Chain A
Amino acid sequence: MSELIKRTATELAGLLASGETTSVELTRACLDRIAAVDGSLNAFLHVNAEEALAVAAEVDELRAAGKGADLHPLAGVPIAVKDLIVTKGQPTTAGSRMLDGWVSPYDATVVTKLRAAKMPILGKTNLDEFAMGSSSEHSAYGPTRNPWDVERIPGGSGGGSAAAVAAFEAPLALGTDTGGSIRQPGAMTGTVGTKPTYGGVSRYGAIAMASSLDQIGPVTRTVEDSALLQEVIGGHDPADSTSLADPLEGLVDAARHGDVSGLRIGVVKELGGEGYQAGVRERFSESLDLLRDAGAEIVEVSCPNFDYALGAYYLIMPSEASSNLAKFDGVRFGNRVLPDGPTTIERVMGATREAGFGDEVKRRIILGTYALSAGYYDEYYGSAQKVRTLVQRDFEAAFKQVDVLISPTTPTTAFPLGEKLDDPLAMYLNDVATIPANLAGVPGLSLPGGLASEDNLPVGIQLLAPAKQDARLYRVGAVLESKLEEKWGGPLLAQAPDVQPVVDSVVDQGSASVVDQGSASDRAETRAETRMEARAMSHTEATEGSRS
């Protein structure tokens, strides 16, 4: 394995600028890594080798011709894109059978920006179908596995992006966060994930789940890399009517000049304590100590209405999703299924949506249809919108007392595959700490806070700031990251075990995934060859989270 792939995006930008490496060499190293470990992880649904290498070669030529100064600092640094974000020339499936084989005729705005910065796109990453889930197990193409322990979930919905970055398949990735889908996988995999302020990054070309909650954001290994990537993809976009008029600035600067002296940091009483795994609480209070030592004042604040946030979210999100997903009807795009008997369009729609959508998507569409239906609208959707006001007021009151808020990102560490698949409610509880930020539109960042002592799995620390104050997350996050890394003697991912082969695949993996690299058959071979070996070293970890 090339050591190059372990470098941060910031370091890689420096190595490319100084000519110590080339983008082709770096992109090849990432592709090699994908070929080596993705048979276990299933983080990628599509690998875009040819185009990525062509972009890399173009960047190298420009640098060789002395035109490096005109290039974006991240030019030549490869990136992976969550398969909810549309890309020309590559399939976009949203993790759904509905869009199997569909290729978008246009690029998402963030993808246009990546192309303008000449960042090679390595491929599309796996996710829960239409980003609905917290474990990546709801993908129609098999689950993604956690690089720390392949028998566990990598979080979701953006488990593919987080696993790809954690396993050094890509230095950077894009995710989308509707209720925690960037931050929760970040916590599960020991990586950094940021949900920018709502409207800070254009949503144009992100297949919508809940339009008033969805936000595209960076998935990285360091706080500074996250700031760099957010500056690439952020800014006003006329194609997204909810896009903020002014760009969020000073993010990289904030990450490079981390400082918490004199800052007031609020511990949210409602996001912690009972129901949170002991090892998570332990790492969280350690982070508070480090921030206190660095000069911050830690105070407790109460946001009483956060207790209703999960309930409000599970009414607002399905309501918006049921409307947004109505377009998948087998007429304009995606697959069409013809029922037996007369083929009227209504019957075709019913059959198409029955076959095309998975269980979780159907559950949310039905729930949303219910919440919006006559007689229930005021009771459910109306009440949820009022709770949204109360959650915003809680944030406003809290930010009058403190500069940023802090909490564990998730109540537990990564749980075993399959554990919560038959219990939707237990699955939903994963997002209890991340949802309030989406309801209020404020920015949130999760960074690795160490390993829980009972299971040696990553714990995430979440920072929340007022709307448009994304720079604060980076200023505080950079300090906490450097204090923790000082303690660990390096980045947390240096402690991650080698990616293990998968022992017994519980789910049929990627039957429909498209790989233009010829690595699909290699993967199957690798899996078969290593199966026996793997059985011998199969994990026997019995420790689990204190709650579900």
Chain B
Amino acid sequence: MSTLRRGQVAHLARLAHIDMSDEELDRMSGELDVIVDSIKSISEAAGDDVPPTSHPLPLTNVFREDVVGQTLSNEEALSGAPDSADGRFKVPAILDED
């Protein structure tokens, strides 16, 4: 089982879309290393014959009748948005300008 290196944490932070300073990366990789080290024993706990459980109580898919119910109005849906225009969420450029 590998441990978390600083470069790996930087990669994970990029995947998770969280900017991190050098100092933060140093601290975070140290802390995460300790945590990962302490929980790695669980990979030895269960054999191949144990099925995984994703949910505490067994449930099958739940469907409802396809009828129109109450929904948020356009105004309500946009009420907490940092920016909006013409009844839509307004976002910065998707692509780099250059």
A: residues with CB less than 8 A from B are: 102-106, 197-199, 212-213, 238, 241-242, 244, 305, 308, 310-312, 314-315, 322, 326, 329-336, 338-339, 342-351, 353-354, 357, 362-363, 365-367, 369-370, 373, 379-380, 382-390, 392, 424-425, 428, 438-442, 467
**B38-83, CB < 8 A from A:** 38-43, 45-46, 50-57, 59, 62, 64, 72, 76-77, 79-83
A215 to chain B, nearest CB (A): 9
- B93 interfacial contact with A, CB 8 Å: yes
Residue in A103, A339, A345 whose beta carbon sits within 8 Å of that of B93 in the complex: A345
Separation of A356 and B40 alpha carbons in the complex (Å)? 30
Given contacts A198-B56, A387-B42, contact A369 B96 (CB under 8 A): no
Residues of B within 8 A of A385 (CB): 52-54
Residues of B within 8 A of A392 (CB): 53, 56
B65 to chain A, nearest CB (A): 10
Separation of A442 and B56 alpha carbons in the complex (Å)? 8
Give the residue name and chain of the A residue nearest to B9 (CB): A366
- Pairwise interchain contact B28-A387, C-beta atoms closer than 8 A: no
Residues of B within 8 A of A105 (CB): 72, 76-77, 79-80
Q: Sort A-B residue pairs by CB-CB distance and give the 8 closest, nearest first.
A: A441-B56, A385-B52, A386-B46, A336-B82, A311-B39, A333-B80, A105-B76, A354-B19
Give the residue name and chain of the A residue nearest to B75 (CB): A105
A-B contact pairs, 15 of them (CB 8 A): A103-B80, A105-B79, A244-B57, A331-B81, A343-B93, A350-B18, A354-B19, A363-B31, A366-B13, A367-B36, A370-B12, A373-B12, A383-B46, A386-B51, A467-B57
Separation of A467 and B57 alpha carbons in the complex (Å)? 8
Residues of B within 8 A of A428 (CB): 35
A442 to chain B, nearest CB (A): 8
- Pairwise interchain contact A315-B57, C-beta atoms closer than 8 A: no
Residues of B within 8 A of A362 (CB): 18, 20, 24, 28
Q: How many residues of B contact A (CB 8 A)?
A: 56
Residues of A within 8 A of B36 (CB): 367, 370
- Pairwise interchain contact A440-B16, C-beta atoms closer than 8 A: no
Give the residue name and chain of the B residue nearest to A468 (CB): B57
Residues of B within 8 A of A312 (CB): 39, 42, 45
Separation of A334 and B50 alpha carbons in the complex (Å)? 42
- Pairwise interchain contact B43-A379, C-beta atoms closer than 8 A: yes
A336 to chain B, nearest CB (A): 4
B16 to chain A, nearest CB (A): 5
Separation of A342 and B96 alpha carbons in the complex (Å)? 8
- Pairwise interchain contact A308-B57, C-beta atoms closer than 8 A: no
- B86 interfacial contact with A, CB 8 Å: no
Residues of A within 8 A of B95 (CB): 344
- Pairwise interchain contact B82-A334, C-beta atoms closer than 8 A: yes
Residues of B within 8 A of A353 (CB): 16-19
Given contacts A312-B42, A334-B82, contact A350 B57 (CB under 8 A): no
Residues of A within 8 A of B28 (CB): 362-363, 366
Residues of B within 8 A of A305 (CB): 45
Residue in B19, B24, B79, B97 whose beta carbon sits within 8 Å of that of A103 in the complex: B79
Residues of A within 8 A of B18 (CB): 350, 353-354, 357, 362, 365-366
B3 to chain A, nearest CB (A): 11
- B15 interfacial contact with A, CB 8 Å: yes
- Pairwise interchain contact A212-B55, C-beta atoms closer than 8 A: yes
Residues of B within 8 A of A386 (CB): 45-46, 50-53
8 new A-B contacts at CB < 8 Å, known A348-B91, A354-B20, A366-B13? A308-B42, A333-B82, A349-B17, A366-B12, A379-B1, A384-B42, A390-B46, A467-B56
Give the residue name and chain of the A residue nearest to B81 (CB): A332
- Pairwise interchain contact A311-B96, C-beta atoms closer than 8 A: no
B87 to chain A, nearest CB (A): 14
Residues of B within 8 A of A242 (CB): 55, 57, 59
Separation of A440 and B15 alpha carbons in the complex (Å)? 31
With a 10 A CB-CB cut-off, give which of B4, B13, B19, B53 has the most chain A CB atoms.
B53
Separation of A104 and B92 alpha carbons in the complex (Å)? 23
Give the residue name and chain of the A residue nearest to B61 (CB): A241
Separation of A103 and B78 alpha carbons in the complex (Å)? 11
- Pairwise interchain contact B45-A365, C-beta atoms closer than 8 A: no
Residue in B46, B52, B83 whose beta carbon sits within 8 Å of that of A336 in the complex: B83
Residues of B within 8 A of A389 (CB): 46, 50-53
Separation of A430 and B14 alpha carbons in the complex (Å)? 31
Separation of A346 and B72 alpha carbons in the complex (Å)? 28
Give the residue name and chain of the B residue nearest to A322 (CB): B16
Given contacts A105-B80, A346-B17, contact A388 B52 (CB under 8 A): yes
- Pairwise interchain contact B34-A425, C-beta atoms closer than 8 A: yes
- B85 interfacial contact with A, CB 8 Å: no
Separation of A382 and B47 alpha carbons in the complex (Å)? 11
A354 to chain B, nearest CB (A): 4
